[in-house]
Amino acid sequence: MGVDWYNSIALRNGGYKTNAKFLIEGINAEEIYEQELIKLLPNFYQVLDAGCGHGDFTIRMSQFSKSIVGLDNSIELIKIAKSNQVGRDNIEFVFISTKEELPFKDEQFDLIYDRKGPTSILNHSRILRSGGTVFGIHSGALELVKERLQQNGFIRIEIREYKESRIIFPNRNEYIKFVSDIPGNPDYSEERYKDELEKMIVENTFNGIIQIKDYKYIWKAQKP
């Protein structure tokens, strides 16, 4: 997924969001992650949100944080984030790619959290203070996250997998909206994806209900 794709998502949806209606059945890993992050934030002074997208989550977390910087590699998403920032002076949104050297001071941050953002942030451990924490949630690239945590010298590595929950859709139209808004996916409402879409629906229909597994894992580690 290139920067152009992220910018197109910003323009199409107004950020990383979906209008699809669905129900999560089982343990909701994202709710667990958010509640744990809320408990962590007051213990840290300088926080980095790696891959902040359109900034809604950053803004919500800012009420629990002393100072928070949100970064993203999409200028369009950062524009949306800044436009929604009104009244929050403890947030800064910056347009940066983690594939480049980051313009932050050594050990500038106490906590770096990564909510489905770029796992390459783990290659920038110099900006995290000694004893600082990294905390993230993702749905893929588990082995890559493990590898980057280990290669960059992080300690006290914890990884928890959540495999049992399912996303339930009331009808095919809501399913189409949802899968079309997943990062990297095309717009499945387009005629050219009709055959691929029908195959996906068949594969994800059980007892007449369209549903998909909601696999996620939460990871946490510390810089020595």
Residue 159: what are its φ and ψ, rounded to 5°? -135, 125
Q: Indicate the pTM of the whole model.
A: 0.88
Pairwise pLDDT comparison (45 vs 11), residue with the higher score: 45
Per residue in 114-172, pLDDT (tens digit) is 999 999 999 999 999 999 999 999 998 999 999 999 999 999 999 999 998 999 999 99
- Distance CA(99)–CA(118), nearest Å, equals 9
* Pairwise pLDDT comparison (204 vs 97), residue with the higher score: 204
The 10s digit of each residue's pLDDT in 80-124 is 999 988 888 899 999 998 888 999 999 999 999 999 999 999 999
Of 158, 182, 219, 218, the residue nearest 29 (C-alpha)? 218
pLDDT per position as a tens digit, 36-67: 999 999 999 999 999 998 999 999 999 999 99
Asked if pLDDT for residue 8 goes beyond 70, the answer is no
In this structure, the chain runs to a length of 224
Helix (H, G, I), strand (E, B) or coil at 91: strand
Domains located in the chain, CATH noted: 28-163+216-222 (3.40.50.150)
